[in-house]
Every structure is written in C-alpha cells, then in structure tokens.
Amino acid sequence: MRPPYGVGMASSIPPLRPAIDRTAPEFSPVRERLWRQVLGECLRGIRHERGEKLSETASRAGVSPQYLSEIERGLKEPSSEMIAAVAGALDVTLVDLTLAVAESLRPAQHSVSRGATCSAATAYALAA
Amino acid sequence: MRPPYGVGMASSIPPLRPAIDRTAPEFSPVRERLWRQVLGECLRGIRHERGEKLSETASRAGVSPQYLSEIERGLKEPSSEMIAAVAGALDVTLVDLTLAVAESLRPAQHSVSRGATCSAATAYALAA
DNA sequence: CTGTCGGCTTCGCGTAGAGCAGAACCAGTC
DNA sequence: GACTGGTTCTGCTCTACGCGAAGCCGACAG
C-alpha cells in the first residue's frame, strides 16, 4: 500500500478518503465488527463445512486464491458481484449467506468462543 | 471515471479488473439482484419510514448527499465503515439492516410490486 | 538431515472506482 | 416566479481492488 498523502509532512492534511483500518477487531471487544469481517468469517466457515479447499472455491468463483483468502479474513471489500460469485461457488444463496452474516453479527454471539463466530449452521442447513 | 486502459485502440486488451456492470437489474428479471442494490433499497426504505431527508441522514452519517443517493440506488459499493455509518445515522443496527437485506432478497419477494421491495418492517420494529 | 508437496498467506503493483465538490437538472409545491 | 428535495453530470484525488509472483508453514518421504 502506498503511503498516505502527506507522509513526511505535518499530519494536518487528512486523506480525502480515510484509509481503511484493517486491525482485526476480535482482539478489541470495544470495536464493533464490520460487515466485511463477518462476511469473510461466514464464507470461510461455510467453505470448511463443505470440506472445500480455498483454491477450489476460488477457481469456481473465478477469483484468485490470494484474493479469496483476503476476503475470508475481512481484509478486502469484495464487490457485490464477487460476493455473488463466491456464494455461488459455495452453493449457498445470497439470502442464506446474508442471514448467516446477520446471525453472526448478533450481540449474543460475542460471548461465544472466538473460534466459531460465524453461525453457518443456518446457511448450511438451508442450502443442503 | 477514466476511460479504461486501451481506449482508442483495438479492444483486445481486457481491463485488469473487470468494470462493474451498473445496469439496473429491476428491468431484467433474469438478472439476480446484487447485494448493493438490495442494501440501497433497504436503506432508503428505512430512511423514508423514519421520515428523514436524504441530506439529513447523509450529514449525520458523514457522507455527501450525492453519495448517499448513489448508495441508495445501488450505484456504488460502500465500504463496511460507510455502511456502519449510514446505519448508525438511521439508528438501525447492522444486524437489523442485514436481516432486512436478507428478507428483501428472499425469492418470495420478487412477486411483490416493485415499489416495496425492501421489507424494512423487521428492521424498523426491532430498532424501535 | 534435505527435499517436496499442499494449503494458505504476504508482497507489490496497475488501475478501477470510491467518495467528493460544484454545478446543473428535474419534479413537486406554493 | 421561488423554494425544496433529490438526482444527474462532470471532473478530481488517491485509496484499495484484484492479481501475479513469491513466501511461509506443516506434513511427509527418503
């Protein structure tokens, strides 16, 4: 990533578009989780439940494995077309995926162990 | 937007990142609706139910009115931070917003009249 | 021990598009 | 006519999308 505008000068000039903070929020309970992060968790959860490899899903979705890895870790903001493509590659509908994201966003989930923050069971059951 | 690379030459050089097709799908029932479009409808639906003006919501969310207009019409892909900001400005949680999007994505909604494609009632009731 | 493989991640890059400001346009109301 | 609310257009800056190349790590074989 390029240095933000004004690096090397006094930091009195804000960037025109704020740089996206990619700090993983799961280590900061005060920070609310962002949509892309939860989406990524759900996608990875569904993929694991399907026993799929990252490279397989990526190939079927028509994206690079590197990129899918980044999407899954909430590092990138995929376009709606990309979301649809990955969902299709995982044989899950956009409805069920969105529901899984919503379920995973629920505050009650925050007290669940960190390793299972995406409730993919709903998406899985509906898609099966 | 800048002309794609290679404009003025033979169109044998594909763009490095495929240009996003912004054709409105509501005029093409064969085309599945994209996440950003449904999101936008939901945001506008919620805003209308709150009796809010676009400029008010935009100001509170910290975005320009032009941009919020584009988001609501599914023309732009807002970042997760932007989504959170607009949701906050509308006093709706990300959970409820996501649920509203999911509800609106359900196939059963497709036979509803075009003017009320976003089921914001869920989001409204939960946020009230 | 070394070498290979599989699965995933990191790095760096070109350019698409996010997000905005200013101006103009459109429709409705008084 | 003026005003309001929203949309469209134009052009701009520069962030970050999406990917190729390379790297990391664990497991396994010889």
User: Is residue B53's pLDDT more than 90?
Assistant: yes
Residue B17 tokens, joined: 């990142």
ipTM of the complex in this document: 0.80
* pLDDT number for residue A127: 41
Looking at per-residue pLDDT, the higher value among A83 and B6 belongs to A83
Residue B87 CA, nucleotide D17 C1', distance (Å): 24
pLDDT band at A56; cut points 50, 70, 90: very high
Residue A93 pairs in a beta bridge with none
Which B residues, 47 through 106, put their C-beta within 8 Å of a C-beta on chain A? 77, 79-81, 83-84, 94-95, 98-99, 101-102, 105-106
What residue in A sits closest to B81 (Cα-Cα)?
A: A34
Among B68, B71, B74, B73, residue whose Cα is nearest residue B53: B68
Under 8 Å between Cβ of B73 and B40? yes
Q: Where are the domains of chain A?
A: 33-127
Which option is the CATH number for A33-127: 3.90.1170.50, 1.10.260.40, 3.90.1300.10, 3.30.2010.20?
1.10.260.40
Residue A99 tokens, joined: 């529901």
Mean pLDDT of chain A: 74
